[in-house]
Amino acid sequence: MIIVLIGPPGSGKGTQAKVLSEKYGLAHLSTGDMLRAAKQSGTLDPEFRAIMDSGGLLPDTAVIGLVARRTQEADCAGGFLLDGFPRTVPQAEALAAMLRERAAGSTTPAGVTAVLQLDVARELLEERIIHRRTDKETGQIYHLLYNPAPPGLMRDPGSLEHRKDDQPEAVKTRLDAYDSMTAALLPYYEERGLLRRVLGVGTPNEVTGRIVAVLEEK
Ligand code: AP5
């Protein structure tokens, strides 16, 4: 299985990717997490760090290279779930080429299995993002109101991260980048019969149930 999760910032891609990758035994490839890890370790180009912090998208070539290398790692052999990639048509074309190359000379199917678009109204997204907190150690995603971290973590202010790009100005830039760039990707996958829209509103469990129903109807 090769699953692509698309959705605006705060739509629940990371939350759902964690559950689905465990359920289906897939590697979870989040370009946002990979870039934040590079930032944390000081290996991210300072120019890219500034783009990320302000909420803009990195150049296609930078993220394509990252994903191409990651998909060659052993844990991706049985399939993977992409969270936050592709975000543009050139990235989708690069992914298609990567998958053709990977399938050459083997029985592995040559393309994406399904593209799931999480649909959440913009008014709800800002509230979800501004109250997001992430466990620095495990990467577990919480929400101060809807899904608070366990009391031990809440009492330790250093254990939870409030992402730099979760500040209101950067959030607006990210939502605009989604509307102007990523939305162009939806017709690309729709024309190929791969796009499935899933309502991303309700509890995280309800959203997972809808995704599983879509994946298992295939
Ligand atoms: P990335 O990390 O991919 O950020 P994003 O797309 O903006 O998505 P988020 O992580 O904000 O949200 P999410 O959809 O994962 O939601 P979550 O599950 O956390 O990318 C960050 C940056 O990296 C980009 O801005 C760009 O600079 C760069 N980048 C990455 N990939 C790139 C690419 N391909 N090309 C170029 N640049 C790239 O949920 C959000 C909150 O809501 C949480 O608090 C959660 O607890 C809560 N929540 C989740 N589900 C529900 C629910 N059902 N009900 C209520 N609350 C919920």
Going from the Cα of 83 to the center of ligand 1, the distance in angstroms, rounded, reads 9
CA 126 from chain centre, in angstroms, equals: 17
pLDDT at 157 over 80: no
pLDDT digits (tens, 9 = 90+) for 172-216: 999 999 998 887 899 999 999 999 999 999 999 999 999 999 999
Is the pLDDT confidence value at 119 over 90? yes
Q: How far is the CA of 13 from the centre of ligand 1 (A)?
A: 6
For residue 85, the CA-to-ligand 1 centroid distance in Å is: 11
- Please give the average per-residue pLDDT across 102-114, as a whole number: 84
pLDDT value for 218: 56
Residue 155 lies in a domain: no
Active-site residue, 172 included: no
In a domain, 138, yes or no: no
Distance in angstroms (rounded) separating the CA atoms of residues 51 and 46: 9
Q: Kindly compute the dihedral angle of the four CA atoms of residues 171, 19, 146, 83, in this order, to the nearest 10 degrees.
A: 10
| CA distance linking residue 31 with residue 39, whole number of Å | 12
Residue 57 belongs to some domain of the structure: yes
Using the atom order of ligand 1, give the atom closest to the CA of residue 165: 25
13, 18, 36, 133: the catalytic one is: 13
Q: Which atom of ligand 1 is nearest to the CA of 131?
A: 44
Work out which ligand 1 atom sits closest to the CA atom of 133.
Answer: 44
Domain count, the chain: 1
Is 164 within a domain? no
Average pLDDT estimate for 86-107: 92
The residue among 121, 124, 120, 103 whose CA lies nearest residue 112 is 103
Dump pLDDT digits (tens) for 17-65. 999 999 999 999 999 999 999 999 999 999 999 999 999 999 999 999 9
Percent of the chain with pLDDT over 90: 85
* Model confidence at 129: pLDDT above 60: yes
Q: Does the pLDDT of residue 95 top 60, yes or no?
A: yes
Question: Residue 161 falls within a domain, yes or no?
Answer: no
Cα gap 23→186, rounded to integer Å:
26
Which CATH number is 50's domain given?
A: 3.40.50.300
131 assigned to some structural domain: no
Residue 177's contacts (CB-CB under 8 Å, 6 or more residues apart) are 55, 56, 57
Ligand 1, residues at Cβ distance < 6 Å: 7, 9-15, 31-32, 35, 51-52, 55-58, 63, 84-85, 87, 91, 128-129, 132, 141-143, 146-147, 165, 174, 202-204, 207
How are beta strands 160-161 and 132-135 bridged, if at all? antiparallel
Range of the domain at 95: 2-121+184-216
Confidence check: pLDDT of 92 > 60: yes
pLDDT at 107 over 90: no
The DSSP line for 148-212 is: PPPHHHHH-GGGEE--GGGSHHHHHHHHHHHHHTGGGHHHHHHHTT-EEEEE--S-HHHHHHHHH
Catalytic residue status for 210: no
- Catalytic residue (one of 163, 164, 196, 197): 163
Asked whether residue 159 is assigned to any structural domain, the reply reads no
**Residue 171 falls within a domain, yes or no?**
no
pLDDT value of position 181: 82
Q: Coil, helix or strand for 161? A: strand
